[in-house]
Each structure stands twice: as C-alpha cells, then as structure tokens.
Structure 1
Amino acid sequence: MTRLTRPDGTEIAYRDHTPPRPRQQILLLHGLAGRMAEWDDLVPRLLADGHRVVLYDARGHGESTRRPATVTRAAHVADAMTLIRELSLAPVTLIGQSLGGHTAMLLASAYPDLVRSLILVEAGPAGPSPNLPYLIASWLADWHPLDRATMVESISELATHAYWREWTAVRCPTLLVQGENGTMRATEPTDMLAARPTATHHTVVPDAGHDVHLDQPERLYEAIAAHIRFLKQPSAGDARR
C-alpha cells in the first residue's frame, strides 16, 4: 500500500502491480461506497496477461482520507489524473465501475492524451437525477465503514447535471459493460451509442446486477480481455467493433 498526498491534504491509498515489461497500463476505479479490494478477483487475471495494474481507494473511501476537503467530480478526476502522471501510466486503459466509471469518462474527455482506452462498467453520462442524494442516503443508512454525508456529497453533482457533452468528447476506443439486471437507465446505452457511434462497443453480462465485477468477475474479465485484444488492431481507434 502506497499513499499519494494531494494539495488539499487528501491522502490517496493505492497499489501498483508492475510485472517486467508490462503489455498494457491499466488503472482501476471503484464505485461509490466501494474500495479497491473489490477488484481482487480481476487483478490477478490481468497480471497473468502481463499487464501493469494500478488500483486505488477514491477520496472518502477505504484507506484514503475518510473526510476529504472536497469530493467534487473535478477533485476525483484530478486524483486519477495525478496518479496517471506520477506513475507514468499514460497512455492508460481506464476501467471504472459506476461512479468510478463516471470519473474515468470525465478524465478521458478532459485529458485525451493520457487515455488509450476506456471501459465503463454500469456507468454513463445520464442525468440529472434529482432523487439520487435521497436514495443514496437511504441506501447507506446502516453503513458504518463510510461517512454517509461524504458519500451523498460525492454524487451531488449527478443530481443536477447530465454529462452528454463530455461523453461525446471522448475519442478513445470504449467498451460499455452493462449488467443484465443493472441499474442504468433503460435507454442510456442506446443513447450513448447514438451520440458517439464510432469506436464504441456495448456488451451485456448475463446474471449480473450493477456490481458486474462482483457478480460475474470471470465474464467481466473475458469482456475486458477481448477489448484489449481489439486495441491491437490497426483500426481500433477508427471503427466501431
């Protein structure tokens, strides 16, 4: 476990698994109320394929600062961007679930030179969602490992904003992974493909809910491995699979 201290005093806990001569650089971003340990099933599979894998606890989560000074979308993006630059991960493949996927999408939009490809697991630009803070507060009512107010504040911007402009600005090859029983809005995947029809692929994982990485880790790995193989094709950034 290593820690990165941000200018606002927030400490970001991360792990860096680096094999000799890594094939790809991968950064894993967990969702709201999650932690990097959620990727424990996926990490050894990616390492076995020869990839460098970095994962971290987002601010307010896990071993990172529990009550950071700010939890804005911009702060989360800046944390991930700093890790990429400090650890020389660019061009990186971002794999993010739920709110972590949203962070990854915003980063790919704002810093296209840092990102080789994007894998969004149950994550997209839809919004606004006015009831979201109330739903999250109710969901976390009995959770003690997390600060509930910090979690609610972390998603406050999603209650009032949609992020379709950022989605259409993404330029790298993208895989959208949806759980068969997930929580994405019914038309969101179709709308995402319509708004950005090139270099985007959509796959649905059977028997999985919102936490695809926990419900069906092997099937998620297979989808990720296929996407990474696709990146080797000369036309990967030019045509939709």
Structure 2
Amino acid sequence: MRATTLSRDGADLHVLDSGGDGPPVLVLHGLAGSVREFEPTARALAPDFRVILVDQRGHGRSTRRPADVSRSAFVADAAAVAERVARGPVRLVGQSMGAHTALLTAAARPDLVERLVLLEGHPAGGEGPEGAARIGAFFASWPLPFPDRAAARAFLGSDVLSRAWAADLAEGPDGLRPRFDADVMEAVVAAADEPRWAEWEGVAAPTLAVFADLGIFSDAQKDEMIARRPATVRADLDTAHDAHLEDPGAWFSLLRGFLSAP
C-alpha cells in the first residue's frame, strides 16, 4: 500500500492507500489502534475495492499529541481524507472509537458517505470522567519502555488486542514504546462521553452494525440502537470486542458482502 501524509488543522495524518479503480473504502481503527490492525482487511477486499487506512490523530504514525482531540476534529479528519485522498464519496468503515467517528461523519457529511459499517460501535455516551480516567490509568501503568517484544507480550497478555499492541510498538534508542500517549487516549475517550442519538437517527447511508456476542455492549444497548434506526442491517459475531482480529474470516465475509450489495 502507498503511504501518504495529509496535513489538517495542525495535525499530520498518516494514510495508506491500496490504489486501484474499485470503489473507495475508508477504514477507521479504534482507540489506541493503528492502520496495522486493518491491513489484513485491506488485503481481503483487494482488488475489488480501493482501501484507504488512516492513523487517526494521536495514534500510529500520525501526530502523537494534537492540540484538538474533540469529536469534531476526528470527523473533520475523516472528511478530509475522503475529499482529498479518495476524491469523493466513500464506503466508510469503523471499529469501536473509529465506528463512533464514522457514525458522526456519516451524519455530518452525508455527501461523503455512500455506505456505513460499524463494528462494535454505539451512539450512547461513555462512562463519564471515571471511565476515561480508568482507561488513561491502564495505559499509564505500562512499564515503559519495554526492552523487547517478549517483555511486552509478557506484560500485556496473550489476547488478540494485546498481541496487536505488542506487534505495533515503536522502536527507540531506549526500547519499545506504544504509538500513543496515555493522557491523549484518556482525553479522546472523555470527548466521546455525550450520547449522540440524534446523529445516529439522522444517518442516511445504508448501514451495517456488527456486534460481538462477548463485546462491550449489553443486549439492551444493541437492541435500542437498532430500534432507533430500524433500517439498519444487524449482524452478530461469536467473538469479543476486537472481532476483526479474533475472527477475521467472518469479519471479511460480512464486510465484503455488505460493501458489494447493490
């Protein structure tokens, strides 16, 4: 995939573009993630789709400490990638926090979103300042720098997300560090605390909502989301929150089927 940099509002965004003539698909990773997680998704969709992956601000190889981590800043970034890289409307895919960004982008810029796929995303607010603080404290607890990836894996654990974090650590002169800062992640979560039901109900694009049976949302939350927008296509996977890593084959099949539908 070809790497480019898009600059907007004082932040540089790292973008990977598969190229090709297929319909453009823009994919947004979740909190503390990066484009690396979705490179297999891009390969699975090629060559029928042109897949564009972006490290969202504060993540990956994009600006690590942006001045603005509001929801509107993330939405404006996604819109800028659609306009300036894809050169027009995209089929927008997001996971977790990236799904929240994708939802808000579809509501704010219907001209740029032809189809919408939300993997473990929801318009309800977060758990308040306490929830954001717990997430920040977790990331701040990592004993950095890790001397090597084996040490990172030993601390982080063996689940698929922990393995993805360990694989994506950046090498520096003193060891390995994550491609994000704990306090920035806490601020990003805190900015998403407000419920966004009005935006969800106003989304015009055909939408697929994919939930994990062992994910972060209750059955009642999932049901309410669909009830508030009954035209939404719902799919459930027998996985945990990071379904794209835990059962990629099932994820690829769902995604390709919805993106290819007439």
TM-score (norm 2): 0.82
How many residues align structurally?
Answer: 224
The alignment status of 1:214 with 2:249, answered yes or no, reads no
Q: Which runs of 5 or more structure 2 residues have no equivalent in the other structure?
A: 143-176
Bigger-Rg structure (1/2): 2
Distance 2:227 2:82 in 1: 30
- Alignment correspondent of 1:239: none
1:119 is displaced (CA, Å) by 0.3
Matches within 5 A, 1:1-241: 1-7=3-9, 9-19=10-20, 21-22=21-22, 24-48=23-47, 50-130=48-128, 131-143=130-142, 144-145=177-178, 146-159=180-193, 161-198=194-231, 200-206=232-238, 208-230=239-261, 232=262
Q: Report the 3-state secondary structure (helix = DSSP H, G, I; strand = E; otherwise coil) of the residue aligned with 1:90.
A: coil
Q: Deviations over 1:136-184 (max 9, x none)?
A: 123313344121111100111223x101011001011100111121112
Distance 2:87 2:209 in 1: 22
More deviation in 53-62 or 137-146?
137-146
Distance 2:191 2:181 in 1: 18
Q: Which runs of 5 or more structure 1 residues have no equivalent in the other structure?
A: 233-241
Q: Report the 3-state secondary structure (helix = DSSP H, G, I; strand = E; otherwise coil) of the residue aligned with 1:187.
A: helix
* Greater than 6 Å deviation, 4+ residue runs: none
Distance 1:153 1:135 in 2: 12
Q: Report the 3-state secondary structure (helix = DSSP H, G, I; strand = E; otherwise coil) of the residue aligned with 1:93.
A: strand
Distance 1:112 1:86 in 2: 16
Amino acid at match of 1:41: P
Q: Report the 3-state secondary structure (helix = DSSP H, G, I; strand = E; otherwise coil) of the residue aligned with 2:236.
A: strand
TM-score (norm 1): 0.89
Q: Deviations over 1:198-235 (max 9, x none)?
A: 2x1111111x11111111111001001111232x1xxx
Amino acid at match of 2:120: E
- Alignment correspondent of 1:237: none
Taking only the aligned residue pairs, the percentage that are identical comes to 37
**Alpha carbons 2:83, 2:89 under 8 Å: kept:** no
Distance 2:131 2:16 in 1: 31
Alignment root-mean-square deviation, CA: 1.3
- Alignment correspondent of 2:173: none
Distance 2:86 2:108 in 1: 18
**Alpha carbons 1:59, 1:68 under 8 Å: kept:** yes
Distance 1:113 1:69 in 2: 28
